[in-house]
A and B are shown apart, each in its own frame.
Chain A
Amino acid sequence: MSKITYSIPIGPVHPSLEEPMTFNFEVHGEHIENVYLAPGDNHRGIEFMGMQRNPVQIIYLAERICGICSASHPFAFCQAVENAAEIEVPVRAQYIRVVIAELERIHSHILWAGVAAHELGFDSVFYLSWRAREEVLDILERLTGNRINYGMFMIGGVRRDFSQELILGIRKTLDYYKDIYGKLEDIFLKDPSIALRTKNVGILTKEDALRLCAVGPTARASGLNKDVRQDQPYAAYADLEVKAITPDVLTGEVNGDVYDRIIVRLLELLQSVQIIEQCLDNMPSGEIINEPKLVKLLNQLKKAKGMGIGRHEAPRGECIHYVKLNEAENPEVWKARAPTYNNLMTWVPMLLGQQIADIPIVIASIDPCIACMDRVTILNQDNGQKNILTKEDLHKLSVQKTRRITP
């Protein structure tokens, strides 16, 4: 029997997505034989824009690199500038930064859990988990004034302090998450259908994760005991006991499949709650910003010369910013690297040998800002016939597979 492969392009652009991209699959029947990635459809040149602005203006640009990681990028950027200009951050500000970053992690991981459930066809779980996410968004809004794009970070500190009343509010939110955690664990880890769809699907071996420089939950689910908060504790993480979570904590083994990625993210949810509690218990009093006068700060940055890197463990993995200041108003170089940039290439080993119906969950499993697959064309190379598959069709295929294999 001759082996004809078909090529399926998926993507590229969906306007609501952080990272639209094109996937080109070569399939034989249902089997994925090869994957070609083509990102960059929505390259906005943010670094280029940043290099024409002063560092304080860049913070707000950095916040908008990603809608979900709107604390991670300014966190890393501020650290890079502080390292380059040798600005010290007051300890209370370091604690506030960590609380905001961890609240963001809770909301990002629950968002992901909802998306994953949706891709598998469990829309009720999707609704329930996104309902649970509202609580953390509410407290973020009370703390910062915004549900996303918090505007909390400033070079040398943070812009708003927490009052006692707000701290009580955070504690109440944390209690809520401790309450529902058991339910989330029940739904995601004990449900037979989710296990059937995610176990041994989209496997990334430890070697591949290391060679392809994977970061974040994707790397940890493959057994790489790697977390910037643990390896190179910055800000208040230096005082907190943070340990990288690998799936063997729960199951005793590492498979590197989608199921393991669910485990890592769920456990990290609980870990974030504990980190925030530690922060609130030990939060010192004092200043929240090194230099409250903006004009003075800008003048200081204008005279600064040096290079700095800032690293932060974003919900999706290590986020690193490099800044070079050269006695000018604008930084000479600003380079930002988001976690998905490194995790991009891990899709190839994950997707090879999988079925078309598994594409959505495998792609979703590294938590990119996924669903760029708003249109898919299947081109029959023999007769040149063209069929268009929409994102809905792909989603339907995935849901059908869940129904088919569920007892």
Chain B
Amino acid sequence: MDYMKPEEIVEYFKSNLGQSVIESKIETKISGIKKKSYNIIWLKVKPENLKDAVKLLGKIDYPHFAIISGDDIGEEIELIYHFSIYYGERFKEISINLTTSLPKGDLKIPTITDLIPGVQTSEREMKEMMGITFEGLPDLPNIFLPIDFSKGVFPFRKDEKGVYPLSKNGKYIGGNIIDKEEVKKVE
């Protein structure tokens, strides 16, 4: 099997996606007595090109998906898709982290479950915890939060939609977590 070098992978993304690749970084990690190394790639792409980036990744090798992590950075929400490619040989695996930022006014991103079905759990988690709409993802019930959890409250958010003690205005001291109307319905 031919393995692309990390620099080649970054170049491949840049030549195919052009201006959409906002940032790129290659990290080399060394460990052990023999000081051998492996690589981690960080790429930042525009949200409208995220799906294309995943498709490109699929052309290199079927990517192994780990998780989506989210970060509320004020005006935007940053999503990081953690992938890795090339398994089966020592020191060949490369971790690829695709970052994208969504403005709070338009928290929409296409689903990639049609490319990699295993992403479903993670997309559902981000939908509940961050309030991101994944276009094309079936509207399934809550996976990690209780079914009577308030709509419009997202635990990983750090603005007024988050929960205590992260809410800045101090209004929400945990009281917003349970939606009393929903509880009544269930009871």
Asked if A and B bind, the verdict is: yes
Residues of A within 8 A of B (CB): 38-40, 43, 45, 47-48, 51-52, 83, 89, 91, 94, 210-214, 224-226, 228, 230-239, 244, 282, 284, 307, 309, 311, 318, 320, 322, 324, 332-333, 335, 337, 341-342, 344-345
Q: Chain A: which residue is nearest B83 at the CB level? A: A213
In the complex the two chains form, is B116's CB within 8 Å of A211's CB? yes
Whole-angstrom CA separation of A307 from B99 in the bound complex: 12
Residues of chain A within 8 A of B36, CB atoms compared: 233, 238-239
Contacting A at CB under 8 A, from B28-47, are 29, 31-34, 36, 38, 40, 42
B144–chain A nearest beta-carbon distance, Å = 4
Complex CA–CA separation, A228 to B64 (angstroms)? 12
User: With the chains together, A238 CA to B80 CA distance in Å?
Assistant: 27
Nearest A residue to B30 by beta-carbon distance?
A238
- B87/A226 in contact, CB under 8 A: yes
| Min CB gap B71→A, angstroms | 5
Q: B52 interface residue, CB < 8 Å from A?
A: no
Shortest CB distance A317–B (Å): 11
Q: Mark B122-148, 1 if CB is under 8 A from A, else 0.
A: 100000000000000000011111100
Chain B residues near A38 (CB-CB < 8 A): 141, 143
Instruction: List, in ascending order, chain B residues with CB within 8 A of A345's CB.
Output: 117-118, 120-121
Identify A52's interface contact among B95, B142, B145, B165, CB under 8 A: B165
Task: Check B172 for interface membership: any CB of A closer than 8 A.
Answer: no
Partner among B33, B65, B89, B141 whose Cβ is within 8 Å of the Cβ of A91: B33
CA distance A34 to B66 in the complex (A): 26
Contact B65 A213 (CB under 8 A): yes
Chain A residues, Cβ within 8 Å of B88 = 225-226, 230-231, 244
What is the CB-to-nearest-CB distance from A234 to chain B, in angstroms, rounded to a whole number? 6
Number of A-B residue pairs with CB-CB distance less than 8 Å in the complex they form: 129
The answer to whether A238 and B87 touch across the interface, beta carbons within 8 angstroms, is: no
Determine the residue in chain A with the shortest Cβ distance to B35. A238
Interface positions of B from 3 to 46, Cβ below 8 Å from A = 27, 29, 31-34, 36, 38, 40, 42
Q: Is B87's CB under 8 angstroms from A231's CB?
A: yes
Q: Out of A48, A231, A332, which one reaches B90, CB within 8 Å?
A: A231
Query: A234-B31, A282-B33 known; 15 other A-B pairs, CB under 8 Å?
Result: A48-B155, A83-B40, A91-B33, A94-B31, A212-B117, A213-B64, A226-B88, A232-B84, A233-B32, A233-B38, A236-B32, A237-B31, A320-B66, A344-B121, A345-B121
Could you show 14 A-B contacts with beta carbons less than 8 Å apart? Answer: A40-B146, A48-B155, A89-B31, A94-B32, A211-B116, A228-B93, A230-B88, A231-B87, A231-B93, A232-B38, A236-B32, A282-B33, A333-B69, A337-B66
Q: Which of B32, B142, B165 contacts A40 (CB 8 A)?
A: B142
Is B97's CB within 8 Å of the partner chain A?
yes
Q: Specify which chain B residues have a CB less than 8 angstroms from the CB of A228 in the assembled complex.
A: 93
Query: Which of chain B's residues have a CB closer than 8 A to the CB of A230?
Result: 88-90
A45→B146 CA distance, assembly (Å) = 12
Contact between A239 and B118 (Cβ–Cβ < 8 Å)? no
Shortest CB-to-CB span from A132 to chain B, Å, is 31
Nearest-neighbour CB distance to chain B for A401, whole angstroms, equals: 31
Query: Would you call A39 and B143 a contact (CB within 8 A)?
Result: yes
| Contacting residues, chain A, for B66 (C-beta < 8 A) | 213, 311, 318, 320, 337, 342
